[in-house]
A and B are shown apart, each in its own frame.
Chain A
Amino acid sequence: MRAPRLEQVQGEVSAEHPAVGGARYGPGMTPTTSPRSREDHPVVAEGLVKRYGAVTALDGLDLAVPRGSVLGVLGPNGAGKTTAVRVLTTLLRPDAGRAVVAGVDVLADPAGVRRRIGVSGQYAAVDEQLTGTENLRMVGDLYHLGRGPSRARARELLERFSLTEAADRPVKTYSGGMRRRLDLAGALVAEPEVLFLDEPTTGLDPRSRLGMWEVISELVSGGTTLLLTTQYLEEADRLADSIAVIDTGRVIAEGTADQLKAQIGGERVELTVGRDADVATAREALHRAGAEDVSVDERARSLSAPVTGGTAALVAVLGALRETDAEVLDAGVRRPTLDDVFLTLTGRAAEDDAPDDGGTGGEAGGETSDAGGRGRRGRHRREGEAR
């Protein structure tokens, strides 16, 4: 039922707007240069400004999400992600600028926007005392689905989010991940054509995060237009078609994950060897595996070189090293982190003022795998085992 619909939607879009629907944002093409007509961009924000006293939360923010695609809004704490989502979902009036969501002006007809969107905010907005079923039925009733469909939809969503067993328990007995899933289910009750998710995986353990990613990927493959905020480059990389990096309320970079990575230097293979003599051998092996521009830290006996192809490059390097007698203590692929993005784009590190968020520390530290070829698997599996 879902898949055919998706093809239909995307097929139509690409037929009408081959540039947008087909290539999405191809190399060298950024959303800023593509047309932002209401028909092919269900989310358009122009020059949004929101001030809180002396703090400027949004400082002329421009965003556009093409129909059926996913925009990842990436930024550190306080960048303005939540503020942007709240403006786009009619919860907050901007001081300046305009926004059109699902073809409807956010300021002129907020009720019209609300009928067409689903929102899952940064903090799960569910009623603790109500059960999962009661929460979803209430949302269905408030969308005016009618009694029967509202109940059926609640059952269906609980099933889809693996909450059937907990369906009749008050939400206060749910774990953080379960609450988050229930909140997301609430956003999907009316099958909205545009969906907003504000940091859907912050605070989730690796397994729940993977589960949430799967759910979101599935949703997106159903043709929903999605705006997703995150502090994790990996998450944007995995889920988004294009990424807008924001800082202090402004978009500071925009493009596909690959474009951004290219801009900040991409992946590096890192090696640490056991003996001083091994350093030269390792450098040799890196060259043979195609890695140029090797930088060496003699004292730490560690080497690092930019590569393309991530894991494959690592395997090639390790293959080359196996033919030598070098003692490899550590080897891995280091991928650019949000910190790298910020260092490159703003010349300063992403400030980390959310001590309650356990995930951020690991993120900022970068990622280096354990020794051996089994360190990092495909780029899409990596996140789950990273923490």
Chain B
Amino acid sequence: MSSSTSASRTTAEADGRRSSGRPSPSPGGGLGQALGDGWTIAKRNLIRIKRVPDLLVGSIVSPIMFVLLFAYVFGGAITLPGADGSIPDPRAYREFLIAGIFAQTVIFGATITGSGMAQDLKTGIIDRFRSLPMAPSAVLVGRTTADVVNNVLTVVIMTLTGLLVGWRITTSVGEAVLGYLVLLFFAYCVSWIMAYLGLLVRTPEVFNNVTFIVIFPLTFIANTFVPLETFPTVLRVFAEWNPVSSVTQAARELFGNLQPGAPDPTAWPLQNPVLYSVLWGVVMLVVFVPLTVRQYQRAAAR
């Protein structure tokens, strides 16, 4: 112990001598610095979003396309229970649909985090980051934060498209804001899982295939696009406990898009959609933040 103290004293002296009149890295540490480092990385990723508009175009165009396809292609054929008998009501379906598209789109938005991490591993920039005296969580915190900004932009675009096809928020501003927060918070938590997967598979292309295969069923076996009443029992139970359903349900409730006369949900998650969604989010964070930080340190050390 004593020898290491003397060694670090010598080094400190060398530092002082070398950097007279020069900036020298501050030893620092702690939460403040971790947040600062996270913000530095977030800025980097925001610049990238600006410079590589392809991604943004993708996450803007696909929701618009989805809204229009579902509203006008399927809309006429899908009958909502409780809506006036056998006559399909396209307007009611569009009202129902938008929250589902919101949920699906922000979850797909969260996958950008994972392909971004895989990309960074591939290009070697992670090596640079890892050789710097920064918080190990910073790359992940910065990445997930920047991707929230991306998701906010996407949500704005979808809202505008929704308004264009006749969708309306009929609740108070507070409830509406809470609705958006549930969507964005849930997506943020999912993005940590995506970061984990991205670090695991290490190749952006493979990552995209894997997540597509996982996320498509997750967002379709849910109340996103059709009411659960039409599902066979097994799928229905799955869908009722699927957090994508509760997020969608929460948004519908908070935007005032529940269909008048629709049967009340019988499953607990859908009776308490905000609570259930937030619980899921918290569990995802508690499990995946440490797991992902560890995987980051490991993946980079290969």
Q: Interface with A: B131-139, B168-176, B201-209, which one?
A: B131-139
Residues of B within 8 A of A126 (CB): 125, 128
Instruction: Classify the interface of chain B: helix, strand, loop or mixed.
Output: helix
Q: Given A91-B130, A142-B40, verify A153-B124 contact (CB < 8 Å).
A: no
Given A5-B17, A134-B47, A190-B24, do A142 and B129 touch, yes or no (CB 8 Å)? Answer: yes
* B47 CB → nearest A CB, Å: 6
Q: Does A354 make an interface contact (CB < 8 A)?
A: no
Task: Please give the distance in Å from A169's CB to the nearest CB on chain B.
Answer: 11
Min CB–CB distance B121 → chain A (angstroms)? 11
Q: Is the CB of A103 within 8 A of B23?
A: no
B123 to A142, Cβ gap below 8 A? no
Cβ B23 vs Cβ A150 within 8 A: yes
- A89 adjacent to B131 (CB under 8 Å): yes
Docked Cα-Cα span, A176 to B125, in Å, equals 16
B37 near A142: Cβ-Cβ < 8 Å: yes
Task: Name which of B3-11, B180-188, B256-264, B269-277 contacts chain A.
Answer: B3-11
Indicate whether B33 reaches chain A with its CB closer than 8 angstroms.
Answer: yes
Q: Are B133 and A1 in contact (CB under 8 A)?
A: no
Q: Does A9 contact B (CB under 8 A)?
A: yes
Instruction: Encode B117-155 as 1/0 by CB contact (under 8 A) with A.
Output: 000000111111111111000100000000000000000
Of B4, B21, B36, the residue contacting A105 (CB under 8 A) is B4
Taking CB atoms, residues of chain B closer than 8 Å to A39 are 7, 10
Please pick, from A117, A145, A170, A223, the residue contacting B23 in the complex, using a CB distance under 8 A.
A145
On whether the beta carbons of A144 and B4 are closer than 8 Å, the reply is no
Q: Is the CB of A129 within 8 A of B8?
A: no
A38 within 8 A of B: yes
Assembly CA distance A221 to B3 (angstroms) = 30
Q: Are A142 and B134 interface neighbours, CB within 8 A?
A: yes
Q: How large is the interface on A (under 10, 10 to 19, 20 to 34, 35 or more residues)?
A: 35 or more
**Complexed CA–CA distance, A105 and B52 (Å):** 41
Q: A residues within 8 A CB of B43?
A: 138
With A91-B301, A191-B18: A144-B25 Cβ-Cβ less than 8 Å: yes
Which of the segments A108-116, A226-234, A261-269, A375-383 contacts the partner chain? A108-116
Q: For residue B134, which residue of chain A has the nearest CB?
A: A142
**Contact assessment for A104 and B131 in the assembled complex, using a CB-CB cutoff below 8 Å:** no
Whether A138 contacts B131 in the complex (CB less than 8 A), given A103-B10, A116-B11, A116-B15, comes out as no
Cα–Cα, bound, A140→B134 (Å): 11
Q: Among A104, A111, A119, A130, point to the contact of B8 (Cβ < 8 A).
A: A104
Chain A residues whose CB sits within 8 angstroms of the CB of B19 once the complex forms: 191
Closest Cβ of chain B: how far from A185's Cβ, in Å? 12
Query: In angstroms, how far is the closest chain B Cβ from the Cβ of A148?
Result: 8
Interface residues of A in 111-155 (CB under 8 A from B): 111-112, 114-117, 119, 121, 123-130, 134, 138-146, 149-150, 152-153
Q: Which residues of B contact A5 (CB under 8 A)?
A: 17-18, 20
Asked whether B300 is an interface residue with its Cβ less than 8 Å from the other chain, the reply is yes
Give the contacting residue for A128; candidates B3, B8, B123, B301; CB below 8 A: B123
Question: Bound complex: CA of A103 vs CA of B4, how far in Å?
Answer: 8
State the CA gap A115–B125 with chains docked (Å). Answer: 18
Which B residues, 263 to 301, have Cβ-Cβ distances below 8 Å to chain A?
300-301
Write out the residue numbers on chain B whose beta carbons fall within 8 Å of the beta carbon of A193.
11, 14-15, 18
Chain B residue at smallest Cβ distance from A122 = B124
Q: With A124-B124, A129-B51 as given contacts, are A142 and B8 in contact (CB-CB < 8 Å)?
A: no
Max chain A CB contacts within 10 Å: which of B24, B128, B138? B128
Cβ 8 A contact of B26, one of A125, A144, A183: A144
Q: Give min CB distance, A127 to chain B, whole Å.
A: 5
Chain A residues with Cβ below 8 Å from B37 are: 141-142
A164 close to B (CB within 8 Å):
no
Of the candidates B3, B27, B48, the one whose C-beta lies within 8 Å of that of A130 is B48
- Docked-complex contact B125 and A129, CB < 8 angstroms: no
CB pair B44 A102 closer than 8 Å: no
Contact between B48 and A139 (Cβ–Cβ < 8 Å)? Answer: no
Q: Cβ of B232: which chain A residues have Cβ within 8 Å of it?
A: none
Q: How far is the CA of A117 from the CA of B14 in the complex (A)?
A: 13
Does chain B have a CB within 8 A of A90? yes
Supposing A104-B7, A121-B124, A129-B48 touch, asked if A115 and B25 sit within 8 A by C-beta, the answer is yes
Choose among B51, B133, B300, B302 the residue that contacts A142 (Cβ–Cβ < 8 A): B133
Given A125-B127, A170-B51, A191-B18: A115 in contact with B133 (beta carbons within 8 A): yes
- For the complex, what is the distance from the CA of A364 to the CA of B6, rounded to whole Å? 47
Question: B residues touching A (Cβ–Cβ < 8 Å)?
Answer: 3-4, 7-8, 10-11, 14-15, 17-29, 33, 36-37, 40-41, 43-44, 47-48, 51-52, 123-134, 138, 300-302
Question: 9 smallest A-B Cβ distances: which pairs?
Answer: A149-B23, A125-B128, A103-B7, A103-B11, A145-B23, A143-B25, A114-B133, A115-B133, A119-B131
Ordered by A's residue number, 19 sampled pairs between the chains whose C-beta atoms are within 8 Å are: A9-B18, A38-B3, A91-B301, A92-B301, A93-B301, A105-B4, A115-B25, A115-B27, A125-B127, A129-B48, A129-B52, A134-B44, A141-B36, A142-B40, A143-B25, A144-B33, A183-B128, A191-B18, A193-B14
